[in-house]
Amino acid sequence: MAFLSLLLVGFLVLFTAANGGGDMEEDELFGLFEVMGSLLEDPTWAQMHPQPCTDTPWPGVECELLQETSIFHITKIHLGPDIVTPPCKNSAKISQSLQKLPYLKTLSLINCFTKTPLSLTKTLFESKTFSFLQHLTLESNPSLSGEIPSSISNLANLETLCMSQNNLSGEIPSEIGKLVNLQQLDLSHNNLSGPIPHEIGNLKKLAILDVSWNLLQEMVPSTIGELLFLEKIDLSSNKLQGRLPQELGKLNRLVLLDLSHNYLTGPIPGNISGLQQQLQYLIMEDNPLNMTLPSFIGSLIKLRELSFSGCGLAGTIFSNTFSNLTNLTALSLDNNNLNGTVPAELGMLPNMDTLNLSRNQLTGELLFSEEFINRLGQRLDIRENHGLCTNYPGPHKNNTSSRRFLQIPSCSSSIFSGASNKTLAENPDRSRNMKPVTLYNGNMSSNAHDLAKDIVLFPGELATARAASAAGTIMVLKDRNIVAQLVKRAEKTGFKVIALTVDTPRLGRREADIKNRFALPSNLTLKNLEVLDLGTEDRTNDSGLASYVADQANRSLNWKDVKWLQTITKLPILVKGVLTAEDANLAVQAGVAGIIVSNHGARQLDFVPATITALEEGRVPVFMDGGVRRGPDVFKALALGASGVFIGRPYVFALAADGEAGVKKALKMLHDEFELTMALSGCRSIKEITRAHIVTPWDAPRVTPRW
């Protein structure tokens, strides 16, 4: 370190000798070298850029010749993938030497802190040093955690504050209301909790407010209505509750209002109609509003997208509600309790491109034109209603893609009945359809959570999530920060359980993969890990999958890792890959909520026992994974003590064959076969399924009683 300091001083001596000492202040230049040294991997940066404002510039550093001083000053530092890859070194940190750059106007560090844990210290912003700072961006830094320091209020001239896609926690400090020049506030995709502070109403110049994808609670503060310059509000994917404040109706410059995926209740204040001047996007989906379709919608004449999916809407769609919305391109009213007929005016809106009315109780004849139905194609979804029909033959004969999503009969068909396309209309709780749900409800207690006796489905794509419940499975990777991010994303997305895979410290020898040099095609990625730059497999002379697992999976996984996982989530944890009673007991001692008996599809190790033969080894509640193809398989697993089963191949095959509809059909087949097996076995409920219903090869011979 002493050598580095001496080296930097040497550069300063040469620099001032060449430029007469008037080009830039030495203390400021030395501060820049220290800041870049704490961030960049390149130890020669100072040597290569001794005059960053003149002769040796660097694209991430900008200078200005300020009138106040008549010399150059550092005004911008930007590090991100567009400048250098990777942007920062693994041990990157924010140096206190930033305070030696008093004329800094922009500080932007994107995807910079990915490995070493880092938090924002209170002392970083405590002084009045950053009086020139206007733009502060700390974005996509997974290892940046801790609270937002209240000292951030000292950045009096700040216009943009972007701290999205980090791992920040705690409450939004009320002192943020002192940033009276702020025009853009983005704290999205973090773990922030508590209320939105009322002091936010002091940000009179604010145009963009985005605090989506956090854990914010309580009500939307009425003071937001004082921010008359607001153009975008995104409060989606939080835990906000209660009714919306009437003051929102004052925001006549608002273009986008996204309040989706919260716990907001109706009714929505009627004076929201005051937003008619500019509002183009109104997204309310997945809130328990439990109201009729708001009458003020017809006055929002500039609307382009409107979504009330899964909001518990009831009543009819009035014929004149949408007639004035000629700019509307997308309308989503699915997963509600709407009844009556579908207004023909919806098919006359000139810019309509996406219409979803599925999973309601709509009835009568669909009066959309042939041109409208063909134009929308798959973007027209009216499945699973109470008795819709059409006299237009196109969807049934000439247009396969439309037929798949319309799924309604001809009104003139002899097989038509008033409930011919009804599958979910009898479900009274529509607002829950967008959240993970369970197929069967039973009662099984554990030390962490009430787990249901279910047929459980591993997550595939969105179509699968809509068709059945899902449990998120993870392997503990070498980088715990990545694991923590995956867990937090699972919590925010609404998953109810974390399933930890414990039987893959190494991948089994899959000779077909090795022979074929298996790897994902370049156009496919591991989507769940793509945002973490772990979504692709490198092609090798071996198996790409085996190499990927070898690089990423933690081979030293032990029960202490389960304890650590419990410290970062409140979700119940299941361990997947247990085959012996000894391991099951150790898992329970570690505090897991349940066991998943699994042999990894028999692809890890040859000659392992079938999962159904291992069920009776445990004396704790267990789930079974593997070998479930038909309804009787579910019955046998429950009879042998399983609390539920997991399925993989049946839903994957169904998904490949017919998308969401295929998955639903596969689940329905399992349901119907299981129900029939129960009936033929004399079981009126799941509780009546017992070990006595099953004879296994390892049972002692039974003596047939004499009559």
pLDDT digits (tens, 9 = 90+) for 392-403: 654 444 444 444
- Residue 547 clears pLDDT 70, i.e. is over it: no
The beta-strand segments (E) located in 481-617 are 498-501, 573-578, 594-597
pLDDT band for position 184 (cuts 50, 70, 90):
very high
The predicted model gives 586-596 an average pLDDT of 80
Q: Mean pLDDT over residues 64-93, rounded?
A: 88
Q: 175: how many CB neighbours lie within 10 A of its CB?
A: 16
- 600 belongs to the catalytic site: yes
Inform me whether the pLDDT recorded for 77 exceeds 90: yes
Write down the pLDDT at residue 291: 93
Per the model's pLDDT, the better-predicted residue between 481 and 420 turns out to be 481
Whether the per-residue pLDDT at 82 is higher than 80: the answer is yes
Q: Which of residues 649 and 308 earns the better pLDDT score?
A: 308
Q: Which residues pair with 658 in a beta bridge?
A: none
CA–CA separation, 101 and 121 (whole Å): 17
pLDDT for the residue numbered 202: 95
pLDDT, tens only, 463-482? 444 444 334 455 555 566 77
Q: In the chain, what is the greatest distance between 2 CA atoms, to the nearest angstrom?
A: 115
Q: Which residue has the higher pLDDT, 226 or 457?
A: 226
Q: In angstroms, rounded to a whole number, what is the distance separating the alpha carbons of residues 262 and 284?
A: 9
Q: Give the pLDDT band (50/70/90) at residue 699.
A: low
Q: What is the DSSP string of 304-338?
A: SEEE-TTS--EEE--TTSSTT-TT--EEE--SSEE
Q: Which residues pair with 107 in a beta bridge?
A: 77, 136
Question: What's the confidence (pLDDT) of residue 606?
Answer: 63
Give 698's pLDDT tier (boundaries 50, 70, 90).
Answer: low
The model's confidence at residue 447, banded by pLDDT at 50, 70 and 90, is very low
- Residue among 572, 602, 424 at smallest CA distance from 498: 572
Model pLDDT, residue 455: 43
Weakest mean pLDDT among 11-15, 57-61, 271-275, 287-291: 11-15
Span 609-627, average pLDDT: 66
How far is residue 412's CA from residue 390's CA, in Å, rounded to a whole number?
8
Average pLDDT over residues 434-462: 33
Least confident of 42-56, 91-105, 396-410, 588-602: 396-410
pLDDT bucket at 238, cuts 50 / 70 / 90: very high
Q: Name the pTM for this structure.
A: 0.60
Is 3's pLDDT higher than 90? no
What pLDDT sits at residue 13? Answer: 36
pLDDT reported for residue 586 = 80
pLDDT score at 384: 82
- The string of pLDDT tens digits covering residues 240-254 is 999 999 999 899 899
Quickly state the pLDDT bin for 332 (edges 50, 70, 90): very high
Place of tokens 């409450």: 171
Residue 700's pLDDT is what? 55
Residue 121 in this model has a pLDDT that exceeds 60:
yes
Residue 223, pLDDT above cutoff 90: yes
Check residue 506 and give its pLDDT. Answer: 63
Q: Which residue has the higher pLDDT, 190 or 599?
A: 190
Mean pLDDT, residues 678-694: 86
What confidence tens digit (pLDDT) does each residue in 344-382 have?
A: 999 999 999 999 998 899 988 888 888 888 888 878 888
- How much is the mean pLDDT over the chain? 77
Residue 11 DSSP code: H
Q: Are strands 380-381 and 354-356 parallel, antiparallel or unpaired?
A: parallel
Q: What is the DSSP string of 163-224?
A: --SSEEEEEPPGGGGG-TT--EEE--SSEEEEPPPGGGGG-TT--EEE--SSEE-SPPPGGG
Q: How far apart, in Å, are the Cα atoms of 65 and each of 71, 103, 108, 127?
A: 5, 11, 21, 24
**How are strands ordered across the β-sheet holding 314-316?**
314-316, 337-340, 361-365, 387-389
Q: Cα–Cα distance between 225 and 508 in angstroms, integer?
A: 59
* pLDDT for residue 513: 61
CA 515 → CA 519, 542, 543, 549, 617, distances in Å?
Answer: 11, 7, 8, 18, 37
Residues 39-51, mean pLDDT to the nearest whole number: 92
pLDDT above 50 (res 416): no
CB atoms near residue 656 (< 10 Å): 10
Rounded to an integer, the average pLDDT of 623-630 is 83
Mean pLDDT of all residues in 376-390: 82
For residues 340, 343, 344 and 349, what is the CA-based torsion angle, rounded to 10 degrees? Answer: -150
More confident residue, 292 or 524: 292
Higher pLDDT, 63 or 421: 63
pLDDT tens digits, 479-529: 667 777 778 877 777 778 888 887 766 666 666 666 666 666 655 655 555
- What is the distance between the alpha carbons of residues 179 and 197, in angstroms, rounded to a whole number? 13
Does 623 or 306 have the greater pLDDT score?
A: 306
In the chain, helix, strand, coil percent, each to 5? Answer: 30, 20, 50
Q: Mean pLDDT across the stretch 583-602?
A: 76
Contact yes or no for 282/305 (Cβ under 8 A): yes
The catalytically annotated residue of 73, 78, 261, 600 is 600
pLDDT greater at residue 66 or residue 251: 251
pLDDT of residue 526: 59
d(CA 120, CA 147): 7
Lowest-confidence pick of 28-42, 145-159, 486-500: 486-500
- Scanning the structure block, which residue is given the tokens 């009879």? 639
Q: Does the pLDDT at position 693 exceed 80?
A: yes
Residue percentage of the chain with pLDDT more than 70: 72
User: 528 near 603, Cβ under 8 Å?
Assistant: no
Whether the pLDDT of residue 89 is over 60: the answer is yes
